[in-house]
Amino acid sequence: MRKQETGRMPSSPEPGIANQASPVWLTLVCAAAVVGLTLLLDSIRWTSATYDEVAYLRVAARWWRTGEQSEITRMGSPLTFWRLQQAPVLWTLDRLGRRELIDDPIGHQQELLPLVRAGALWIWLAALLLCARWSRRLYGPRAMALAAWLFALSPNLIAHGGLATMELPLLACTTGMLFLFWTFLDTGRWRWFWASAGMGGLAFSCKFTTVLFPPILAVIWWLDGWRRGGRGSLFRVTRQVTLGMAVYVLVLLLADFTITGFAVLPPSRSTGDHPTIKAKFGGELAGWIARLYETPVPQDWVGLATQAHHQMSGGSSYLLGERRMTGWRYYYFVALAVKVPLTFWLLLAARAALAWRRDKTGQPRDDLLPLAIGLFLAVTAIGSARNYGLRYLLPLAPLAIIWISRMAEDVTERPGILPAWPAWLIGLGLAGQALAVAAVHPFELTYFNVLAGGPLGGRHILSDSNLDWGQGLKGLARLQCAEPEFRNLTLYYFGDTDPACYGVEGTAHIVNAVDDQSRLPGIQTVTTCYLAVSASLQWGPWGPPGFFRKLDSIAPFRMTDDTTIAIYRTADLRRAGFTHPTSIKVASAREPILQSIGHLGNAPNHGLGIQAGCGFHGQVLDDHEVLLAAECSDRGDR
């Protein structure tokens, strides 16, 4: 095909000191990678499993042993991200004779999960290097070094880079997909076009969010061709883009089918009679549709259909103290405002000012990257009915970082403060990123900027994977180990794993996003000394409506070190009139019961039930004093 000349952005920097000192900038990239990996390796050991990480461990172990993988598709998730993350680790464990970790991944999750997280860090490194390489191609080596450091010091990328979830595999693959497409636009060589489509297939098999990118790339390609050819070429450019992107999507789907090993699965879980289809369509048409429903198709297509059904059905979401099943169109803009460091916004504003100045002086514009970001934000704002976290926007992070990195090439060698203002802003921006990480490390998942009031203020704004994704069990276990009094505790935990797997003691009520919680015991039934509640239950969308509202007026007695679990003294709750115990333990003879029974409720007959092994039992009413004989207390009575 004929080589295409595009209205290109500057693909290589002008000659100068930056190019002559390339080893310096490469060294800075390597240093950024080392710093980022060090932060990640330190952070992964501090947190327990986030939501679904345990399910991914179970799915991967079963696949490794039996080849069965349909469960993950029925969940609405793709087939490849967990293989990329876990297969090298599982292979190594088998070779080292640690088969028991794979045979019982849930029971050994405290040991297995950190290994899987560490083994998947190569994906974060690949994403950083792709980001740096793309910035180098567009702008130059200075920009490459800045992009690497902005990536390495991003609290949100560190937060998800250390998890065995689909976010970083998606980010790495979409970065490669877009980089290859930009290279196609820049060079006009179709091999980069096909390579981008192939990388898109890998991205699609990591997370189905990839389906948003082909339409965005079509707009970018069309605008680039229209600028190059002028208004007279409108029809030709439109036809080329339409046909080209149709083939692009076809190649993407074929690549996905190949990457997944040509795995197929019928959309239907069962065969035979389908009453719903028969009632809706009736006759021969129902039979034809039923057969189609039972026909195996590429397995990731079934997962995509399941995920689309979930999206259309909505999901419990939380924003600014309000819960909804359909989300908010402005949710992601609020999330960006409070979860991104303020100095990054300063760099973004400065970069926009520089772009405007270059445009006014007749220099080429490089607005395609921010255009792609804007289109993605528009689609997610309009189309998403499930607002679960900033993580859905993470594929945009490399685009924003690369666009900002152009500022490094604007740093002038001329003396004076004013001409060098981009350098001052870059230094301030990097310092702000470093301070943001330092303020929250090793719990980057809970990061909120100072505008939001940090993690404690952030719980009034966002929840779920923005703050508490179930990762706080190790923090609670550390607290119980250091201060054994907190073992006498009742925990309401948001997650999908047993707190006992991480050494948490006490009574645990596990609340996930699926099960019916109508029979969840109320906080008035708590008889332990302490009550602990996950933030995503108290402030987020997952607890029963109004279930923990009474706690809003009581200050937590303690917080876990990652601030995801608040701990209350039940004595404080009783004084506030929210609980009344059914029994109390007496440790020694003549020990008075310190609680004032009159504070336990409004009804005058509220009292405290007491039973002693010596035969005493009964109910004590308001302000009564009970003194037990020594023979009763010596037998460990209640």
Helices (H) and strands (E) in the chain, counts: 27, 11
Confidence (pLDDT) at 519: 86
> Domain coordinates of the chain in residue numbers?
17-259+296-437, 468-575, 581-638
Residue 239 has pLDDT above 90, yes or no: yes
Confidence (pLDDT) at 511: 94
Confidence (pLDDT) at 319: 95
pLDDT confidence of 553, banded at 50, 70, 90? Answer: confident
pLDDT confidence of 412, banded at 50, 70, 90? Answer: low
pLDDT confidence of 580, banded at 50, 70, 90? Answer: low
Nearest C-alpha neighbor of 158 from the set 339, 312, 26: 339
Provide Rg for the chain, Cα atoms: 29
Instruction: Please say whether the beta carbons of 548 and 538 come within 8 A.
Output: yes
Confidence (pLDDT) at 367: 87
Confidence (pLDDT) at 636: 35
Report, as an integer, the average pLDDT of 340-354. 94
Torsion-angle region of 615 (φ positive above 0: left; ψ -120 to 50: alpha; else: beta): left
> pLDDT by residue (tens digit) across 492-515?
999 999 999 999 999 999 999 888
* More confident: 70 or 18: 70
* More confident: 289 or 389: 389
Confidence (pLDDT) at 479: 97
* More confident: 172 or 586: 172
Report, as an integer, the average pLDDT of 480-492. 96
Residue 83 has pLDDT above 90, yes or no: yes
Confidence (pLDDT) at 22: 75
197: exposed, middle or buried (C-beta count within 10 Å: 0-12, 13-18, 19+)? buried
> pLDDT by residue (tens digit) across 99-134?
999 999 999 999 999 999 999 999 999 999 999 999
Which residues in 25-60 are b (16+ Cβ under 10 Å) and which e?
Answer: bbebbeebbebbbebbeebbebbbbbbbbbbbbbbb
Of the CA atoms within 13 Å of residue 540, those in its CB half-sphere come to 29
pLDDT confidence of 5, banded at 50, 70, 90? Answer: very low
pLDDT confidence of 276, banded at 50, 70, 90? Answer: confident
CB neighbours of residue 126 within 10 Å: 17
Q: What is the DSSP string of 306-354?
A: HHHHHHHH---EEETTEEESS--TTHHHHHHHHHS-HHHHHHHHHHHHH
Report, as an integer, the average pLDDT of 412-438. 79
> pLDDT by residue (tens digit) across 188-210?
999 999 999 999 999 999 999 99
